[in-house]
Structure 1
Amino acid sequence: MSSPRGNLKRTGGRKPNTLLVSQGDSKLTHDPRRSGVPISRAGWRWAGALVLAVAANIAAGSALAQPRAPDPKDWPAVLAAARSETVYWNAWAGEPRINAYIAWVGEEVSRRFGVTLVEVKLADTSDAVAKVVAEKVAGRIEGGAVDLIWINGPNFASMQQNGLLLGGWAEELPNFRYVDPARNPLVRSDFTVPTQGAESPWGMAQIVFYYDAARLKGPPRSIAALRDWACANRGRFTYPEPPDFLGATFLKQALIALTPDPSRLQRPVSDSDFAEVTAPLWAYLDALRPCLWHGGRAYPDNQAALRPLLADDEIDLAFAFDPSAASAAIASRDLPQTVRSYVLDGGTIGNANFVAIPFNAAHKAAAMVVADFLLSPEAQARKQDPNVWGGFTVLSMDRLSPADRARFAALDLGIATPSLAELGTPLPEPHPSWMSRIIEDWRKRYAAN
C-alpha cells in the first residue's frame, strides 16, 4: 500500500503550462479544501499581528485610492485585458492531486484565454496574506505580488475587515449563473462573514468520519458517543493538533454538539460568554484526552498524518473535511476497500472555500478569468471526480444544461463517499473569532510539546 507520508513538495505530475513557485520549507499543515484556512503555529501567532498592523496603518489616515478594477460586466473587455497576463495564484500545495488539478487549470486557461498561471506554492495561507499586508502598509496600491488566493475563514475575515480584497466582482462572473445562493447560502457567507462579492466560491467541504468496516462494526454516531467509545477502546482515536485546521474543526464540532444554544456561536466571541460557553468543551476534552492515541501526549500534525494511522491499524476511527477523502484514498491504494464514511447524527460542520483577489493585484483581469474558469461546469466536474481530486461542486444542478448535468451524473463518487442525502444539511461554521480563542486555550491546556 502506498503512503502519503513522503515529501509533500511533490508537484503531482505538473506540466509546463503551470509554473510552481515554492514559498519556503515550512511544514505543510492543512488543506483548504477540507476546511479552508491552513494555519501553522507560526502563522497563528502572526494572525493577530495582521489586524494590528493594518488597523494601525488605517488609523494613521493612510486611506489609499485604488486604481479602477476591470468590470466583469464587460466580459469581452476583461478577456482582452487578460490575454498575455500572468496570474500569481497563491495556494496551499500539500496534496499532489490538487497540484495536478491546478496544473490542468493552467493548461486550459493558457490554451483558451492566453493566460499564464503561476502557482505560488504555500505552506500556509497566512504567508500570502502577510505579503498583501506588507504592501498595504508600504502604500503599494497597485502592482502587488499576489493576484489570486485560495482562502476562507479567519484569513478571509481579516482581509475583508481591513480592506485587503477587491470587492464586488465575484457574482458578476459569467459562470456564477450556475451557482444558486438561495439553495446554498454558504457560497455567500464565509464562517458567518458575508462575502460581498469579494471571493468566488470554488468548492464545498463537510466533515465526515471514516473507519474500516472489517475492523469496526459500530462506529460512534455522536460526539458524546465518540468519547464513550474512545475510552472503551483506548488509543484507537485521535485528532490533529490545533492549530491545524482539521484539529480545530474537531473542537468546533464538539463545541456545537455540547452547546445548548449553538446560535451563540454565530456571533463574535466576547470575554463575557467565552468561559461559560466553552466550559462543556473543556470538560469533554479533559475526559477524552487520556483515551486518545498515545494517551493524548502526542497528536498527528494534520490530515495527511492522520490517514496513515488508520491504514496502519494504529487507530480505528478518523475523519476528514472532504466527503470523498476516503474514496480517493481507496482509489490511490492508501486505504483498504473496506473503509466507509458517515456523518454524525445531527449533522457535521460544512463550508465553502473560495478564491479572492487582493485589492492591489497586478493582474486583476486575468485573475477574474481564472476564477471564472474554476466555476465552469467542465472544471467543477473534473474536480469532483475522485480519480482527479474529489472536491464537491458549488454549482446547482438545476442551473446546468442537460449535457453538463450528465457530466456530474456520470461520475462514480466512490464506494466510501456518502450520498447527498446521507450528508444532509451541513452545520454552519462558528464565527471566526471563536476558533482563534478556542485554539489559544487548547494550546494552553493540552499542547503536546
Structure 2
Amino acid sequence: MKKLLSTFGIFAATFAASSFATSPVVERWQKIEQQADGQTVYFHAWGGSQEINRYIQWAGKELKSRYNVTLNHVKVTDISETTTRLIAEKAAGKNSAGSVDMVWINGENFKSMKDNQLLFGPFVNDLPSWQYVDKSLPVDVDFSEPTDGLEAPWGVGQLVFIHDEETLNNPPRSFSEMLSYAKAFPNRLTYPRPPEFHGTSFIKSLLVEVTNNAPELQQPVTKEVFAHVTQPLWRYLDEFHSVAWRGGKQFPAGTAESVQLLDDGQIDLAVTFNPNAVFSAQSSGNLAESTKAYAMDAGALSNIHFLAIPWNANASAGAQVAINFLLSPEAQSRKGDINIWGDPSVLNSQYLTGTAKNTQQFKSIAEPHPSWQAALEKEWLKRYGN
C-alpha cells in the first residue's frame, strides 16, 4: 500500500490540473496495479541485441522492486513466431490463461494480430505515461494501419548503415551508388537474410528507391501490381548478389552478425534499424570508435515500434503496468541513452534527460503498406533462398 500511495501521490500532484487526474481514472489505475502485484509477464521480444537484452533486464529489475511484477523476456528471432502461436491459441479456443502476455511488434505482425482479433484493448489512452508521448509522431498508425489504442508506441526505428571512416571515408549515399561500389569492390557488401526484419527492411528501402517511391507501395498489394512494380528490384538484386559478400550465396543472419562482420573487416557496411546503435556498440566494445552511422541522402525508412497485449494474456494487468513503466520518462531516458541502447524516444523531449534528449534521427521515408512485406519475403525466398 505504501508503494501505491507513493506512486499516486506523485501522479496526482503532477496531473492535478489535468482531466486525466480525475478520481475514477486514478482509482482504475490503482486497481490495475493491485491486480498486477505478484504477476509474471511473459514478454515476447526480439532477442538479437545484447544492448537491448540488458535494457530489458534492467526494466525487469525495476518492475520487480517497484510493483512486484516479474518480467520474463522470451527471446524470439522473429515476432511472426509469436503471431503463429497466438493464432493457434485462438483456433483452439484458448481465450484466457494464454502463454504470451506482452509483445514487441509493428507493421505486418500488428496488422495480422489486429485482423485476427488477437489483441487486448484499447488500453493505451488509459496509461498514465500516455501524457508524455509526443503526439506529433505517427503514434496512432502502424505501417498505415490505425492502431486504435491496441498497441503503445515504444520507440522510433530508422534503417541506417554503419561504416568505418578509416576504411571507407565516403560511403555510398544511394542504392545506385551502393551497386557501383559493390562492383568496384566485390565481396565487401551484403545485407541480412530476409525474412529477418533488417533484411526485409533493406529490400523495402531499396524498392522505394528503384521505383521512385511508387504510389502503389502505399496501397494493399495485388499480384499484378507486385509483378510489375518489383521488376527493377529483382534486376538490381541479381546484379548486386553477383558481386556481394560470398557471391550472394550466403547472408548474415541479422544485424548482430552484420555488425560483427564489419568489426572483423570482412564487409564495409553494416545495417541497423537504430540510428544510435553505433554508440552503444562502441560502448560495449563491439565497434571501433571510428565507426559512424548514416542514412541515404533520400532519407531513412522509418517507423514506430510498439508494445501490445494479447487478448488472452494471463497477466494483462502486469503487462499494462510494464508498458506504462517502459513509457515513463525515466525508462525512456535510459533507453535513449546512447551508451545503453540509444533508441530514439517517443516522448516529448522536455520529459527526457541526458543524451536521450538529443538522440540522432534522419529524414524519414514512410514504410510501404504492410501487405508488401509478406509478398516481398515470399518472392525473395523463391528467388534467392536456396
SS at match of 2:311: coil
Superposition TM-score, scaled by structure 2 size: 0.89
CA distance in 2, matches of 1:302, 1:107: 28
CA distance in 2, matches of 1:369, 1:376: 11
CA-CA distance at 1:249 after TM superposition: 0.8
Match of 2:107 among 149, 153, 156: 153
Paired position in structure 2 for 1:39: none
Paired position in structure 2 for 1:128: 82
Paired position in structure 1 for 2:246: 294
Match of 1:184 among 134, 137, 146: 137
Instruction: Tell me the alpha carbon deviations over residues 214-261 of structure 1, each in whole angstroms, 9 at most, x when there is no partner.
Output: 111211111111111111111111111111111111110010011135
Paired position in structure 1 for 2:165: 213
Paired position in structure 2 for 1:408: 354
Matched, 1:434 2:372: yes
CA-CA distance at 1:308 after TM superposition: 1.7
SS at match of 1:164: coil
CA-CA distance at 1:72 after TM superposition: 8.5
CA distance in 1, matches of 2:221, 2:179: 26
CA distance in 2, matches of 1:392, 1:409: 10
SS at match of 1:272: helix
- For the 8 Å contact 2:262–2:270, the answer to whether it is kept is yes
- For the 8 Å contact 1:147–1:361, the answer to whether it is kept is yes
CA-CA distance at 1:102 after TM superposition: 1.4
Which moves more between the two structures, 172-181 or 120-129?
120-129
Match of 1:328 among 257, 280, 285: 280
**1:233–1:394: structure 2 CA closer, same or farther, 3 Å change rule?**
same
Match of 2:97 among 131, 137, 143: 143
Paired position in structure 1 for 2:211: 259
SS at match of 2:293: strand
SS at match of 2:335: helix
Matched, 1:376 2:314: no
The gaps in structure 1 that reach 5 residues or longer are: 1-70, 414-418
- For the 8 Å contact 2:121–2:150, the answer to whether it is kept is yes
CA distance in 2, matches of 1:316, 1:410: 28
Paired position in structure 2 for 1:304: 256
Paired position in structure 2 for 1:165: 119
- Runs of 4+ in structure 1 over 4 Å off: 409-413
CA distance in 2, matches of 1:72, 1:220: 53
RMSD over aligned CA atoms reads: 2.0
SS at match of 2:342: coil
Match of 1:271 among 223, 245, 258: 223
**1:437–1:216: structure 2 CA closer, same or farther, 3 Å change rule?**
same
Match of 1:74 among 28, 31, 43: 28
Paired position in structure 2 for 1:43: none
CA distance in 1, matches of 2:49, 2:330: 21
The gaps in structure 2 that reach 5 residues or longer are: 1-24
- For the 8 Å contact 2:143–2:369, the answer to whether it is kept is yes
Matched, 1:229 2:181: yes
Superposition TM-score, scaled by structure 1 size: 0.77
SS at match of 1:427: strand
**1:279–1:291: structure 2 CA closer, same or farther, 3 Å change rule?**
same
Match of 1:241 among 181, 187, 193: 193
**Percentage identity across paired residues of the two chains:** 43
Instruction: Tell me the alpha carbon deviations over residues 115-167 of structure 1, each in whole angstroms, 9 at most, x when there is no partner.
Output: 22222233332332233222211212222121111111211111100101013
- For the 8 Å contact 1:73–1:172, the answer to whether it is kept is no
Instruction: Tell me the alpha carbon deviations over residues 363-383 of structure 1, each in whole angstroms, 9 at most, x when there is no partner.
Output: 211111100000000000111
Aligned length: 363
CA-CA distance at 1:411 after TM superposition: 7.0
CA-CA distance at 1:297 after TM superposition: 1.8
Match of 2:269 among 317, 323, 331: 317
1:271 alignment partner AA = K
- For the 8 Å contact 2:200–2:377, the answer to whether it is kept is yes
Matched, 1:119 2:73: yes
Which moves more between the two structures, 227-236 or 77-86?
77-86
CA-CA distance at 1:410 after TM superposition: 7.4
